[in-house]
Amino acid sequence: MAKVKSAYFCQECGHESPKWAGKCPSCGQWNTFVEEVITKEQSSSGYQSSSKRANKPVAIQEVESTSEARIKVADRELSRVLGGGIVPGSLVLIGGEPGIGKSTLMLQIALQLSNLKVLYVSGEESAQQIKMRADRMEHDSKNCFILTETHTADIFREVEALGPDLLVIDSIQTLHSPKIESAAGSVGQVKECTAELMRFAKENKIPVFLIGHITKDGAIAGPKVLEHMVDAVLQFEGDRHLTYRILRTTKNRFGSTNELGIYEMMQNGLRQVSNPSEILISQKDKNSSGTAIGATLEGNRPLLIEIQALVSPATYGTPQRSATGYDNKRLNMLLAVLEKRGGFRLGIQDVFLNIAGGVRVEDPAIDLAVCVAIISSLEEIPLSSKTCVAAEVGLSGEIRAVNRIENRIAEAEKLGFTEILVSKFSMKGVDTSRYSIEIKTFSQLSEVVSYLFG
């Protein structure tokens, strides 16, 4: 009989303690320790490493450098976020709110990989439920296999018999390893199941996708060490009441962490949005005050987004400052610049700012677009719908250069804009003759205000 012992685990960070404590010494959270029963003796169940010989140290010059070919997927948005395709042997964690479409996304990818054998392991839904969703997607893949199982020993036994090229786990919180006697979803179980899947992925060069739950704070449920163990962490975001979803990466060992993919939730699955600028700019019959178009970058992808501002007299004495999709502190800074350098009386005005489309932007290149939208709402002067802005605003009112201005100009030209306002310091070495769009350069905020509003 195996020796059994119990230990206490922090539900926030996974710190292990031999006795209960009120405050976790690792993350500092209170009342997060939960007792879990674990086995002292290693069980023969679960995934067993095929390597019986211990590895020896090797000089880095003697290690062979091989460029492993990535697995190409039809989903261009996922391929962009992962850095160009799926890396063999990688462990990818996808988190998101309940009902946002994580299972739909992974099932859709499994069905699209018709040339690969994919095993979709579900611990939350029956095979009939998954089949109903697959029928709505109108895919006819013969290489997608469904397994409804939560016991890791049984999963690895079926994996060995089937020999899949890709494994999807939905979700990691439902798995149960025989090496740990605590309940499924506990810190110990999540750590052990992820460790078994990681060993399986690395030794067999088979990519594994894990779907994870998130907490009410938006963080992936389970210990923080879970995010350290995997190769990539993807967040599937969006409002369940809206149709658009954003897939962004917070960790990627094989690519950039600045990329994002955009999808539209439809009746037959998720549709890839190849030109997000068109959905982020609202279609209007006539120009209205308080709106401006800014050119931003998300990774390698240029986006044109609509900034909406509303300025009205403060009714309750204390002016309100509210921003959706934009940093409140940066908004306050730009308001101070407009008041000090531009002479606009904004101290007695309520200011509301919104980034259309539900996206969140941190690129300083939309500073000038924010300022222009605020002035337009304050003065009730609409801007031309064919004018785009891409520049940073400094504290002294100077218009600062932004990176990769050529990508922003090309995107504005592609979408039919006739002029773009940029910093004159951004145009060094840029050949303006190859653009049909008119490029206006400025060095001070006052020059932009005079040009647009007289």
**Residues placed in the known binding site for ATP:** 96-103
Q: Is 313 helix (H, G, I), strand (E, B) or coil?
A: strand
Residue 302 to residue 315: CA distance in whole angstroms: 39
3-state secondary structure at position 271: strand
Using an 8 Å Cβ cutoff, are 279 and 115 in contact?
Answer: no
| Amino acid, res. 421 | L
Residue 167 to residue 145: CA distance in whole angstroms: 10
How far is the first Cα of the chain from the last one, in angstroms, to the nearest whole number? 87
Nearest to 357 by CA among 378, 385, 382, 326: 326
Q: What token pair was written down for 193?
A: 């199941």
Structure tokens at 139: 């895919």
Exposure pattern of 57-85 as b/e (b: 16+ CB <10 Å)? eeeeeeeeeeeeebbebebebbbbbbbeb
Q: Tell me how far apart the alpha carbons of residues 441 and 395 are, in angstroms, rounded to a whole number.
A: 19
Two tokens at 57? 């140290």
- Distance CA(309)–CA(293), nearest Å, equals 12
Dist CA 186 CA 191 (whole Å)? 9
What is the per-residue burial (b if ≥16 Cβ within 10 Å, else e) of 283-294? eeeeeebbbbbb
The beta strands (E) that lie in 22-123 are given as 33-39, 91-96, 118-122
Q: What is the DSSP string of 110-142?
A: HHH-TTS-EEEEESSS-HHHHHHHHHHHT---S
The SS3 assignment for 193 reads helix
d(CA 72, CA 52): 33
The answer to whether the CB of 14 falls within 8 A of the CB of 27 is no
* CA atoms of 282 and 296, how far apart (whole Å): 16
Backbone angles phi, psi at 78, to 5 degrees: -65, -40
Closest C-alpha among 387, 389, 383 to residue 416 = 387
Residues annotated in a binding site = 96-103
